[in-house]
């Protein structure tokens, strides 16, 4: 089985050893189309779709006929809340029940993740021997500086203390091991993950 060797660093930024990763996950032929599709699905499914406008039945007023049907020289009008009147209802606006949900099949989504991880292995993957903090933002910030991860960082960890420490860092996006999206990977300059957690990601995608 073909392997890809990546550097493993300590939290002080020193290179410790190499970690062999499965090439079928971290060195695939990059497929831009499935990554594009995965990002579209992610962004569409993040939409709240709460926009709503009032129809002529929902706007207030307009109960009385504005003027008599004939003899005024003006166009006939039944209500001042018609969509063609200022202050009237909206004829074809969103009703609050619209759905923008999209989906992608499992094989295509797995390939999209593998493609995004392959790009990160080429540029931006930082594997740490062990990622442990006491919940202090200052401590985690220093670790990231030691690792030269100071731009947009995708930090992958299920540790509660790491989650607390990362919550106040504007440039850090924290995700759980089983909750990494293609969008998150492509949107980050660096992926910081522990040796143990990257093996979990590998197992899930084999």
Q: What are the φ/ψ torsions at residue 154 (nearest 5 degrees)?
A: -100, 110
| CA separation for the pair 23, 118 (Å, rounded) | 9
What is the CATH number assigned to the segment(s) 3-45+101-205? 3.40.1370.10
CB count within 10 Å of CB 115 equals 22
Read off the tokens for 21: 């990763």
pLDDT tens digits, residue range 129-188? 999 898 899 999 999 999 999 889 999 999 999 999 999 899 999 999 999 999 999 999
Q: Taking the CB of residue 155, how many other CB atoms lie within 10 A of it?
A: 26
CATH 3.40.1370.10 in the chain is located at: 3-45+101-205
DSSP reduced 3-state for 156:
strand
Q: Which of 192, 183, 185, 154 is nearest to 171 (CA)?
A: 154
Q: What pLDDT digit, counting tens, does each position of 34-90 carry?
A: 999 999 999 999 998 899 999 999 999 888 899 999 999 999 999 999 999 999 999
Task: Answer positive or negative: Cα dihedral of 176, 153, 159, 164.
Answer: negative
Query: pLDDT tens across 85-119, in order?
Result: 999 999 999 998 889 999 999 999 999 999 999 99
Cα 1 to the chain's mean position, in Å? 32
Per the CB < 8 A criterion, the answer to whether 192 and 128 are in contact is yes
Please give the backbone phi and psi of residue 186, each rounded to the nearest 5 degrees, phi first.
Answer: -75, -25
Answer yes or no: are the C-beta atoms of 162 and 144 closer than 8 Å: no
């Amino acid at each position: 089985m073909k392997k890809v060797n990546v550097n493993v660093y300590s939290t002080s930024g020193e290179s410790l050893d190499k970690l062999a990763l499965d090439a079928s996950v971290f060195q695939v032929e990059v497929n831009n189309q499935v990554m594009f599709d995965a990002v579209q699905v992610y962004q569409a499914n993040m939409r709240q779709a709460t926009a709503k406008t009032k129809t002529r039945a929902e706007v207030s007023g307009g109960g009385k006929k504005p003027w008599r049907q004939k003899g005024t020289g003006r166009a006939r009008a039944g209500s001042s809340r018609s969509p063609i009147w200022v202050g009237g209802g909206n004829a074809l606006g969103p009703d609050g029940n619209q759905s923008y949900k999209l989906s992608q099949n499992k094989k295509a989504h797995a390939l999209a993740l593998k493609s995004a991880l392959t790009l990160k292995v080429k540029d931006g993957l930082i594997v740490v021997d062990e990622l442990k903090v006491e919940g202090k933002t200052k401590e985690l910030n220093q670790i990231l500086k030691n690792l030269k991860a100071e731009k947009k960082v995708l930090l992958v960890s299920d540790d509660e203390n790491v989650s607390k420490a990362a919550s106040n860092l504007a440039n850090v996006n924290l995700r759980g091991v089983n909750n990494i999206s293609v969008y998150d990977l492509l949107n980050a300059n660096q992926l910081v993950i522990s040796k143990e957690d990257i093996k979990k990601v590998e197992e899930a995608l084999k």
